[in-house]
Amino acid sequence: MSATAVHSLWTTAGEVTSAAPGDRFTAPTIEYAQLAPVLIVVGVAVLGVLVEAFVPRRARYTTQVFLTVVALAASFAAVIGLAADGYATKSAHIAAMGAIAVDGPALFLQGTILLVSMVSVFTFAERRLEPAPHGDGVSPAGTKSRAWGRVDSFAAQAGSVPGSDSEKAAVKAGFTTTEVFPLLLFSVAGMLVFPAANDLLTLFIALEVFSLPLYLLCAVARRKRLMSQEAAVKYFLLGSFSSAFLLFGIALLYGYAGTVSYAGIAGVVDGDIQDIDPALADTMGNDALLLIGGAMILMGLFFKVGAVPFHMWTPDVYQGAPTPVTGFMAAATKVAAFGALLRLLYVVLPGLTWDLRPVMWGVAIVTMVGGAVVAITQTDIKRLLAYSSIAHAGFILAGVIAASPDGISSVLFYLGVYSFVTVGAFAVVTLVRDAGGEATHLSKWAGLGRRSPLTAAVFAVFLLSFAGIPLTSGFSGKFAVFKAAADGGAAPLVVVGVISSAIAAFFYIRVIVLMFFSEPKADGPTVAVPSPLTMTTIAVGVAVTLVLGLAPQYFLDLASQAGGFVR
């Protein structure tokens, strides 16, 4: 079956996407203006590759950072422009021959992704934390400004074997991996498309476009390189595994509906479209294909959002990846993946709401509880945040399940809130360092509040927001999501969510207690003084946390205005 299915997949895909049936072939119409946000990012990413090839080594860093920031800013401006033109509401539109939706949720999520990427780029570009590449790597006292501040968190030469002579030479030469910036941009481009994808193939391609650069980025840590590479390999293997499921699910859905477009599949599910393709006469309308295919596509997305039991890559990868990458990945990936999940459930499979409900409920519950419970015994701050992100995925799933406009807007709001706090928190993690690089073991954070009260206080704000304490953005988000879920008939989920929040509060507060009420260790870590770049990231995180905690209404309104999917 698969052979014919794959064969007809390619042929009919062309027919379905052709705008005018009857014509043999027409040139596709591409609305470049509506795709501008994606095109800008991709274009500059390509430009970045060329920079790597042609610009002298010492100028590359500045050029790349400049290009990346400009690209993200321009792209964000384009998103704002589209929203101002009304694409978010009344003139929502499906562009590029049905491949990409330009509507409220897409623009809102793209805006969020771009802003989060922007602050992430600042942590990527941070060069004052690592000690000098020359010499033994230990900063001689008093020569801070000269000896510190040359290299970032990424390997001197990603291709050199860890511990080899070539690595030492690369370090000594002061090389840096400026390729991370175009990689980041490629990844962002994929993320921009992912929640806007309006057919399954675009969805798959976007997934790969943003995943592959992430696999690479995970592998290029400057410290603990073996761990970093292990994380990348795991991520790659498991990511490919889940992609395979996703792809198989796409095939099955095509077999069921004879099309990969969201609207087409939805039409078949609802029974509106009944013209049977002769090549697919045996399979079309077979509900088993729909259910199995739908479940498999869901699984692919669950993997990306880090829902239990597809979450197991998360702690290992979050821990191994360079911390700026972890922050970016934890924030932006989640936004993109939840966006795609929302669109899939609201546009393609609303007819399956009742079939998928128990599965969704089950996944949401085990995700909330599992993430919170396992986090209790974690001893590494990055792994702790990884499990925290799993628990949060569960909370967001509760909002996704609400199946109402409020559900959509609350999830959009939560994603915005969560992503900024996450980037900020991981940015703080990059600051706490000892001789071996970042001091991520929790025991080293003991008494941090005594030595660096400001850093500890900022981190405490982020933790309180994660825990959903009132007056922080985490509370507003959680409240919106749980309210939508309760109104949408998922009150038991809310109960589980609140209990999980209570469990989760334990380990967040425990870190605060550790920082402020424990005696500092004699050989404890120091808090590095970052450049204005990382400071900006952290400041933005704190500002968003407090503003959305104290006065969330404007942004809630914005999210609810953006609440309608185009079909």
Q: Nearer Cβ to another protein, position 303 or 413?
A: 303
State the minimum distance, in angstroms, from the CB of residue 196 to another protein.
Answer: 25
Q: Least distance to another protein from the beta carbon of 299, Å?
A: 5
Q: How far apart are CA 562 and CA 89, in angstroms?
A: 7
DSSP 513-559: HHHHHSPPPTT--EE----HHHHHHHHHHHHHHHHHHH--HHHHHHH
Least distance (Å) between residue 351 CB and another protein: 12
Cβ proximity to another protein, 272 vs 287, nearer residue? 287
Output the smallest distance, CB 224 to another protein, in A. Answer: 15
42 CB-side CA count, 13 A? 14
φ, ψ dihedrals at 93, nearest 5°: -150, 155
Q: For Cα atoms 110, 116, 121, give the angle at the middle one, nearest 5 degrees.
A: 120
In angstroms, rounded to a whole number, what is the distance separating the alpha carbons of residues 122 and 56? Answer: 22
CB of 341 to another protein, least distance (A): 14
Whether the Cβ atoms of residue 107 and residue 525 lie closer than 8 Å to each other: no
Minimum separation from the CB atom of position 394 to another protein (A): 14
CA distance linking residue 290 with residue 498, whole number of Å: 34
Measure CA 64 to chain center: 22
Residue nearer to another protein on the CB measure, 359 or 527: 359
Candidates 425, 326, 445; CA nearest to 378 is 445
Question: Minimum distance between the CB of residue 288 and another protein, rounded to whole angstroms?
Answer: 7
Q: Which residues have C-beta within 8 Å of that of residue 517, sequence separation ≥ 6?
A: 449
Name the residue nearer to another protein (CB basis): 32 or 354. 354
Among 519, 534, 478, which residue's Cα sits nearest to residue 502? 478
Nearer of residues 254 and 310 to another protein, judged by Cβ: 310
Residue 234 tokens read as 């795991």
Per-residue tokens: 429: 């993690």
For residues 382 and 429, the answer to whether their CB atoms sit within 8 Å is yes
Report the nearest approach of another protein to the CB of residue 287 (Å): 6
Q: Give every CB contact of residue 87 below 8 A, 6+ residues apart in sequence.
A: 34, 93, 102, 103, 107
Residue 432: helix, strand or coil by DSSP? Answer: strand
In the complex with another protein, the residue whose CB is nearer, 30 or 227, is: 227
**Between 253 and 461, CB nearer to another protein:** 253
Please say whether the beta carbons of 127 and 222 come within 8 A. no
∠ CA 95-100-103, nearest 5°, is 80
Distance, in Å, from the CA atom of 253 to the CA atom of 291, rounded to the nearest integer, reads: 9
State which residue, 295 or 529, has the beta carbon closest to another protein: 295
Q: Where are the alpha helices (DSSP H) in 452-528?
A: 453-467, 473-487, 491-517
The binding site for another protein (CB under 8 A) comprises 233-234, 237-238, 241-242, 245, 287-288, 291-292, 294-296, 298-299, 302-303, 308-310, 312-313, 315-316, 354-359, 362-363, 370, 373-378, 503, 506
Nearer to another protein, 310 or 395 (CB): 310
CA–CA dist 188, 45 (Å, integer): 10
Please, what is the minimum distance in Å from the beta carbon of residue 244 to another protein? 10
Of residues 292 and 471, the one with the C-beta less far from another protein: 292
Q: How far is the CB of 356 from another protein (least distance, A)?
A: 6
The least CB distance from residue 292 to another protein, in Å, is: 5
Q: How far apart are CA 435 and CA 529, in angstroms?
A: 15
Least distance in Å: CB of 284 to another protein?
17
Specify the residue, 15 or 287, whose C-beta has the smaller distance to another protein: 287
How does DSSP classify residue 445?
Answer: G
The rounded distance, in Å, linking the Cα atoms of 63 and 151 is 15
Q: For another protein, give the closer residue by CB, 65 or 296.
A: 296
